[in-house]
Structure 1
Amino acid sequence: MNWDLNALYENEMALDADLSDASVRAKSFETVYKGKLKELQVNEFLESIREYEALNEKLGRIMTYAFLRFATNSEQGAFYAKYQHEQSKIAENLLFFELEFNKLSKVKQEEFIASVPMYKFYLESLMEEKPYQLSQKEERILLKKEMTSASAFSRLFDEHFSRLTFAYEGEKLSEEEILSKLQDANREVRKKAAHVFTKGIKEHQPLLGYIFNMIKTDLASECELRGYKNAEQPRHMDNKITQKSVDALVNSAERSFHLVQNYYTQKAKLLGLEELFEYDRYAPLEDSNALYDFETSQKIVLEAFAKFNPKFHEIASMAFEKGWIDVFPKERKRGGAFSHPATPSTHPYVLLNHTNTRRDLFTLAHELGHAIHQYLSRDVGYLGSDTPLTTSETASVFAEMLVFDAIKDGLSKEEKRSLYASKIEDVFSTLYRQINFTTFERKVHAHEGELDLETFNRYWMEESQKMFGKSITLSKDYALWWSYIPHFIHSPFYCYAYSYGQLLVLALYGLYKRSDKEAFVHNYTQFLSAGGSQSPKALIKKFGFDIEDEGFWQLGIGEIEILLEEFKGLCDD
């Protein structure tokens, strides 16, 4: 099942026609408005920002098409690079707009903002970026260099990993396929898969370490040029949250690492093992033959969404029926999963690598949660639909909770115990593991100069050990496993957004179960529909929560404790 890109462009001729149109319009836009924003009347400013948004959406549509072709076939790298280059040239004609708006007097800015309420949050956020903006000439240089800086190393990482295969019992397996064996009931299979994976990435570590160092160096250079306080700050600004809020999240999570350690200590007993290793983390408690093929997973997810909100079912059904999803692993296809928002005038696109495990069921729910969020927010326009990472993970994790509740009913005690274990481990992966990733990144980016492989490995093991304590023995093999995490390369300091989303969802889901469900569904749908047109703090405040208060994060951790107590009850004879 492959996605249908015709909603974007039917062929390259149509793509190039749109590119040509964008180029002509962008040059005209620059001619009409550059150096003249301060002279515009409010109605003229409205016309200018609408055209600016339309041009950016057109470029977004072009780049979505190019990227999606590359995502399913790494040999399309040259094709993708061509359109990156053309997009960059056109973007130069638009570069002046945001810079010039930030040079207007505060009175003029407020006059314009009052006249275009749909763009209020976008423009106010733009004003906050003023201290970190450079001159137009400098911004143009950075834009020109973008393709040969971090994005080039990101592309190298993707292309390299998409070609890697792992030799397992006479077969050449993809990254997704070999890692899925860590969920096998047979310990020897898990152990061998972990060893094969480590062996496969070890010979590539020098390159992967170099790529990470270049990402680190490029980010440090940009932070120095723009005057950011540290490597995290640009991510927090993109996410529209404060350092205080992120620190509150990290501190709350690290103070509850004992929950992880207590769980894995109990799991070792249930598995009858004296010692757990990293390859035992996802071992199923029961040897279940249950497979979640794509058709079964589709049915479960649709039923869960329909029970929560018929609108969610309607959007997900369109995704299945109209070619929004590319489902199965294949040669040269990118690993992992994502939902690309595309543009408000089209629809999201979901990439999966479905291998029929229960985890794949939840991945399907997760990515469709993103797609629903992205589709609902299309009415706030292209500039307003760009949802910060912190709230963009809310819908995805919430969708997983809906599926969890949907399938747990009617299971035997043993099956339910296994499901609970799997869910708890997913929560740990989404929350605590991502905090490990974040604190690991903090160490990496705070390190003076380039890191050698031994230092990367040591930092990785130090942060991982904090989470697992004595409950899991981390072998020397595990020290290398930082090198396959794509977020470190594509989006530095992305990972805490997963933790953010997980605890937020747990708090929201607890509220959903204990409040007027009809009112909650209405408020939650409105929350998603707002996209990125309001700040996360303002959106979450509508539910009565304050994201800068450590007490808020404790609500989510309290829900984890409830989940663990329910699991413990299933383990008692």
Structure 2
Amino acid sequence: MQNWNLSVLFKDEQELNVFLQNTQEEAYNFKKQYENQLHHLSVEVFLQALKDYETLILKLSHILTYVYLNFAQDTTQGAFYAKYENLSKKIEENLLFFELEFCELKDEQSQAFIAFCKGYEFYLNNLILHKKHNLSKKEERVILALSSTGSNAFARLFDETFSALKFNFEGQKLSEEEILSKLYHPDRSIRKKASKCFSKTLKKQNKLLVYIFNMIKTELASICELRSYESPESSRHMRNQISKKSVDALICASENSFDIVSKFYNAKKKILGYKKLKDYDRYAPIGKEMQIDFNQAKDIVLEAFKNFSCDFYKIAKDAFDNHWIDVYPKEFKQSGAFSHSSTPLSHPFILLNYTNQRRDLFTLAHELGHTIHQKLSYKVSFLNQDTPLTTAETASVFAEMLIFDHIKENLNKEELLSLYAAKIEDIFATLYRQINFTTFERRFHAKKEELSADELSQIWLEESRKMFQDSVILTKNYGLWYSYIPHFIHSPFYCYAYAYAQLLVLALYGLYKSEKCTDFTSIYIDFLSSGGSKSPKELVAMFGFDIESDEFWNIGLEQVRKLVDEFLRLSND
């Protein structure tokens, strides 16, 4: 069975309703007992209140996991999703006061609570750090009540639109995942036709998608004004526990190394024998493209993980054996891939749209990396499990590197060249493309007025061309391709976290392969098991790196340069 077993969450809607009703009563009693009372509590009673709050947040997450995963499997279930999302928000209203009132305590009392609540220090200190952006309880309740009809509603509309889209290609009606997989086809005419087909369908949806983008921008601007954030990206940096200065340094270092991208694609153009490389040629396979069915991918991943760590192997095996993974594309299923952390009451859940391409193997490894990280973070308390995006992508990208190293051992030169090309392109997608995404978002959100479709396309093309320089020609059709990127809708300014993780992982992986750190694996497991209980700076310092150093990013970029140089040597032998 290659579908989720959601009965581990709830057997049916009746069981869900009983659980929700009980949680609602518990939340009401919690509010009745503690609202406006925190300043009267002893440290012992506050700790118990904090644990009760944590349990209620966990139960709400358990409910929302179930309804969201049902929707992800079948996006026609929007009404079911909306119903329980709204009911959950009613419960959450009873809990809003807790963090707000904690932040209003006098410094002496809040510091006494923090000192007593062992294991919760980092979480509580973060609340204090962010308190200047809190609103009153009444205002926070209004924002919570309206959240389902704001950006969340447009995100749902975006998902439902794309899951229902069909792309008419050579007499077949393909899903988004299936048409995009054609861009990896060895036949250039197929890639070109697929690109035109994808663009044509995007253009038909352009009016709706541009409206969604503008509404996301408008709401974020309103939230920033209400909460006194300096810029649209400030709240993301705070949640990621990283400074804008550090993000600027990441972007600057990456943009200053765009010559690596140009060098690779100019070499690829020569290998393919093309006079010009178009945007639909970026993922043209060099040599024979590998077809890897899901069972083969499973064996590869398990063997590679087992060679690295028994913890990686055990969690991945549980995922395969116990229906944690929904594998194949199907009608109305959400596109893309993710690993949903769920809660310690169950386990993480992985969504794939597996099409037997080599890149699907790496997507599987990527999402299993997230799953391993999420499962290991169950070791800390639930309020400490939420990992900042700056480190959340680390395990996923590291897992991809394990697979790359594992499968390259037994390949001939042609296969090795093909693998290197694909891996480098994956790194470019995770690193440089995400930098393009971030600079696109910065320019998009900097505009006070609504943008037209042409203005959005122009910004998109200008930022994308920086990466490719003279190596790849971006066609007019490519100007529409910003509009299908879900992160712009679901999580504005998310994307730089991928670039951050890619460079961090390359630095960590270089340390692992050098064998200079003899206990690397055990430190890495501790790193992942910490979840969000430590700052990214503290976590990275476990390996002797300083993420606030301007030189840090160049460690990872040098590894990218080495990979490209190895590819060039292989191609010239």
Structure-to-structure mapping, 1:473-492, within 5 angstroms: 473-492=473-492
Structure-1 residue corresponding to 2:138? 137
Shift of 1:517: 5.8
Instruction: Give me the whole-angstrom Cα distance separating, in 1, the residues matched to 2:414 and 2:228.
Output: 56
Instruction: Give me the whole-angstrom Cα distance separating, in 1, the residues matched to 2:349 and 2:491.
Output: 19
Is contact 1:345–1:378 with CA below 8 Å preserved after alignment? no
Shift of 1:516: 4.6
Structure-1 residue corresponding to 2:239? 238
Structure 2 SS opposite 1:350: strand
Could you list the structure 1 runs, at least 4 aligned residues long, displaced by more than 2 angstroms after superposition. 515-518
Matched, 1:60 2:92: no
Could you give the per-residue CA deviations for residues 126-166 of structure 1, whole angstroms, max 9, x where no partner exists? 11111100000100110011011010000000011110010
Matched, 1:404 2:365: no
Matched, 1:41 2:71: no
Structure 1 SS opposite 2:292: coil
Instruction: Give me the whole-angstrom Cα distance separating, in 1, the residues matched to 2:296 and 2:241.
Output: 38
Structure 2 SS opposite 1:172: strand
Structure-2 residue corresponding to 1:339? 339
Structure-1 residue corresponding to 2:373? 373
Structure-2 residue corresponding to 1:363? 363
Instruction: Give me the whole-angstrom Cα distance separating, in 1, the residues matched to 2:332 and 2:358.
Output: 24
Shift of 1:548: 1.5
Structure 1 SS opposite 2:339: strand
Instruction: Give me the whole-angstrom Cα distance separating, in 1, the residues matched to 2:465 and 2:291.
Output: 33
Structure-1 residue corresponding to 2:500? 500
Structure 1 SS opposite 2:115: helix
Q: Which residue identity lines up with residue 22 of structure 2 in the other structure? A: D
Shift of 1:344: 2.0
Instruction: Give me the whole-angstrom Cα distance separating, in 2, the residues matched to 1:67 and 1:237.
Output: 26
Q: Which residue identity lines up with residue 185 of structure 1 in the other structure? A: P
Instruction: Give me the whole-angstrom Cα distance separating, in 2, the residues matched to 1:569 and 1:345.
Output: 51
Structure 1 SS opposite 2:519: helix
Could you give the per-residue CA deviations for residues 251-287 of structure 1, whole angstroms, max 9, x where no partner exists? 1100000100111001000000010000000000113
Shift of 1:31: 0.6
Segments of structure 1 that go 5 or more residues without pairing to the other structure are none
Instruction: Give me the whole-angstrom Cα distance separating, in 1, the residues matched to 2:425 and 2:30.
Output: 52
Matched, 1:394 2:394: yes
Matched, 1:19 2:10: no
Instruction: Give me the whole-angstrom Cα distance separating, in 2, the residues matched to 1:137 and 1:300.
Output: 53
Instruction: Give me the whole-angstrom Cα distance separating, in 2, the residues matched to 1:550 and 1:515.
Output: 25
Is contact 2:436–2:464 with CA below 8 Å preserved after alignment? yes
Structure 2 SS opposite 1:275: coil
Could you give the per-residue CA deviations for residues 92-122 of structure 1, whole angstroms, max 9, x where no partner exists? 0000000000000111111111111211111
Matched, 1:209 2:210: yes
Instruction: Give me the whole-angstrom Cα distance separating, in 1, the residues matched to 2:410 and 2:139.
Output: 62
Structure-1 residue corresponding to 2:181? 180
Q: Which residue identity lines up with residue 99 of structure 1 in the other structure? A: L
Structure 1 SS opposite 2:551: helix
Shift of 1:60: 0.1
Instruction: Give me the whole-angstrom Cα distance separating, in 1, the residues matched to 2:141 and 2:354.
Output: 41
Structure-to-structure mapping, 1:534-549, within 5 angstroms: 534-549=534-549
Shift of 1:484: 0.3
Instruction: Give me the whole-angstrom Cα distance separating, in 1, the residues matched to 2:284 and 2:53.
Output: 52
Moved more, 256-265 or 507-516: 507-516
Matched, 1:162 2:187: no
Structure-to-structure mapping, 1:129-528, within 5 angstroms: 129-288=130-289, 290-516=290-516, 518-528=518-528
What is the TM-score normalised by the length of structure 2?
A: 0.99
Structure 1 SS opposite 2:277: coil
Could you give the per-residue CA deviations for residues 32-76 of structure 1, whole angstroms, max 9, x where no partner exists? 100111111111011100000000000000000000000010111
Matched, 1:96 2:97: yes
Shift of 1:550: 1.8
Moved more, 111-120 or 416-425: 111-120
Structure 1 SS opposite 2:316: helix
Instruction: Give me the whole-angstrom Cα distance separating, in 2, the residues matched to 1:361 and 1:425.
Output: 15
Is contact 1:504–1:556 with CA below 8 Å preserved after alignment? yes
Q: Which residue identity lines up with residue 422 of structure 2 in the other structure? A: S
Q: Which residue identity lines up with residue 271 of structure 1 in the other structure? A: L
Instruction: Give me the whole-angstrom Cα distance separating, in 1, the residues matched to 2:109 and 2:545.
Output: 34
Instruction: Give me the whole-angstrom Cα distance separating, in 2, the residues matched to 1:90 and 1:409.
Output: 54
Instruction: Give me the whole-angstrom Cα distance separating, in 2, the residues matched to 1:159 and 1:463.
Output: 28
Q: Which residue identity lines up with residue 133 of structure 1 in the other structure? A: N
Instruction: Give me the whole-angstrom Cα distance separating, in 1, the residues matched to 2:246 and 2:45.
Output: 39
Instruction: Give me the whole-angstrom Cα distance separating, in 1, the residues matched to 2:504 and 2:118.
Output: 28
Q: Which residue identity lines up with residue 97 of structure 1 in the other structure? A: F
Structure 1 SS opposite 2:53: helix
Structure 1 SS opposite 2:120: helix
Instruction: Give me the whole-angstrom Cα distance separating, in 2, the residues matched to 1:241 and 1:21.
Output: 38
Structure 1 SS opposite 2:534: coil
Structure-1 residue corresponding to 2:560? 560
Structure 2 SS opposite 1:212: helix
Q: Which residue identity lines up with residue 553 of structure 2 in the other structure? A: W
Could you give the per-residue CA deviations for residues 502-535 of structure 1, whole angstroms, max 9, x where no partner exists? 0000000001011256500000000000001111
Could you give the per-residue CA deviations for residues 360-385 of structure 1, whole angstroms, max 9, x where no partner exists? 00000000000000000001121100
Q: Which residue identity lines up with residue 441 of structure 2 in the other structure? A: E
Could you give the per-residue CA deviations for residues 283-310 of structure 1, whole angstroms, max 9, x where no partner exists? 001133x311000000000000000001
Aligned-pair identity in percent equals 55
Q: Which residue identity lines up with residue 163 of structure 1 in the other structure? A: A
Aligned-residue Cα RMSD (Å) equals 0.7
Could you give the per-residue CA deviations for residues 542-566 of structure 1, whole angstroms, max 9, x where no partner exists? 1111112120000000111111121
Is contact 2:288–2:418 with CA below 8 Å preserved after alignment? no
Q: Which residue identity lines up with residue 415 of structure 1 in the other structure? A: E
Instruction: Give me the whole-angstrom Cα distance separating, in 2, the residues matched to 1:148 and 1:567.
Output: 49
Instruction: Give me the whole-angstrom Cα distance separating, in 2, the residues matched to 1:161 and 1:19.
Output: 31
Segments of structure 2 that go 5 or more residues without pairing to the other structure are none
Instruction: Give me the whole-angstrom Cα distance separating, in 1, the residues matched to 2:248 and 2:325.
Output: 36
Is contact 1:369–1:396 with CA below 8 Å preserved after alignment? yes
Is contact 1:430–1:499 with CA below 8 Å preserved after alignment? yes
Q: Which residue identity lines up with residue 142 of structure 2 in the other structure? A: I
Is contact 1:344–1:381 with CA below 8 Å preserved after alignment? no
Is contact 1:22–1:58 with CA below 8 Å preserved after alignment? yes
Instruction: Give me the whole-angstrom Cα distance separating, in 1, the residues matched to 2:572 and 2:175.
Output: 39
Q: Which residue identity lines up with residue 228 of structure 1 in the other structure? A: Y
Could you give the per-residue CA deviations for residues 420-471 of structure 1, whole angstroms, max 9, x where no partner exists? 0000000000000000000000000001210000100000000000000110
Instruction: Give me the whole-angstrom Cα distance separating, in 1, the residues matched to 2:193 and 2:299.
Output: 34
Instruction: Give me the whole-angstrom Cα distance separating, in 1, the residues matched to 2:542 and 2:106.
Output: 33
Instruction: Give me the whole-angstrom Cα distance separating, in 2, the residues matched to 1:105 and 1:117.
Output: 20
Is contact 2:288–2:415 with CA below 8 Å preserved after alignment? no
